[in-house]
Chain A
């Protein structure tokens, strides 16, 4: 079951904040976040495991609420380099291993 991301697209001014959500109808074991710039390969951002943990580096952080089967990615004080499409990939609680199911992506544009 494909996770659902919201919003589908967002436009920000430099310095503004954004939140991208990823929701699943199935119990999750982990959530992965990736960013893909136009014409480039997806790049890993972070993994969150069940247990409600939060992670972050620089001004990008994320949370995982396993009860709600939802993860959120927080981008603070956005920079031009944050532009791209953000994908969440989910791994089910009963996963055999390695099988990530990706959401449809959230296109983020940061303007000067």
Chain B
């Protein structure tokens, strides 16, 4: 595997379910990100991790719970979601954070539908 991979690619879940999204980067990067992309809306940053430490939580509801066990893996745990949480969830990684120097590499995303 190369680059940034995400599983599953598609997920349908009920409002009472608990599920997790997985992201893995094979680039040796130190920083990882979760973004939400809804139709007709810009990319919204959710969380930023640098060396497994959360450095940004962009006012995301607690029904989204991130986990970064090591610098290569990032999870997004989901529980009691709402229909408006249906969106494409993108994971990204970069060499580091800070100073505006680092390009981000995105995974293909997980298309989430909440019923």
Q: A41: nearest residue on chain B (CB-CB)?
A: B106
Q: Which residues of chain A are within 8 angstroms of B99 by Cβ–Cβ distance? A: 29-30, 97
Are B43 and A102 closer than 8 Å at their CB atoms? yes
Q: Which residues of chain A are within 8 angstroms of B101 by Cβ–Cβ distance? A: 30, 47, 49
Given known A41-B108, A97-B55, A98-B48, contact A49–B100 (CB-CB < 8 A): yes
Are B105 and A44 closer than 8 Å at their CB atoms? yes
In angstroms, Cα B48 to Cα A91, docked, is: 14
Interface presence of A25 (CB below 8 A): no
Are B97 and A97 closer than 8 Å at their CB atoms? yes
Contact-size category for A: 20 to 34
Q: Which residues of chain B are within 8 angstroms of A32 by Cβ–Cβ distance? A: 100, 103-104
Q: Which residues of chain B are within 8 angstroms of A27 by Cβ–Cβ distance? A: none
In angstroms, Cα B56 to Cα A102, docked, is: 16
**In the complex, which of the residues B42, B102, B106, B107 contacts A104, with contact meaning CB atoms closer than 8 Å?**
B42
Are B42 and A40 closer than 8 Å at their CB atoms? no
Q: Which of B1-55 contact A (CB under 8 A)?
A: 4, 31, 33, 41-45, 48, 50, 55
Interface presence of B94 (CB below 8 A): yes
Q: A98: nearest residue on chain B (CB-CB)?
A: B97
Interface presence of A76 (CB below 8 A): no
Name, among A41, A91, A101, A103, the residue most crowded by chain B CB atoms within 10 Å (CB to CB): A41
Are B42 and A96 closer than 8 Å at their CB atoms? no
Interface presence of A43 (CB below 8 A): yes
Are B55 and A98 closer than 8 Å at their CB atoms? yes
Interface presence of B61 (CB below 8 A): no
Q: A32: nearest residue on chain B (CB-CB)?
A: B103
Q: Which residues of chain A are within 8 angstroms of B44 by Cβ–Cβ distance? A: 102
In angstroms, Cα B104 to Cα A86, docked, is: 15
Name, among B31, B45, B107, B108, the residue most crowded by chain A CB atoms within 10 Å (CB to CB): B45
Chain B nearest CB, measured from A66 CB (Å)? 12
Interfacial residues, chain A to chain B (CB-CB below 8 A): 2, 29-30, 32, 34, 40-44, 47, 49, 87, 89, 91, 95-105
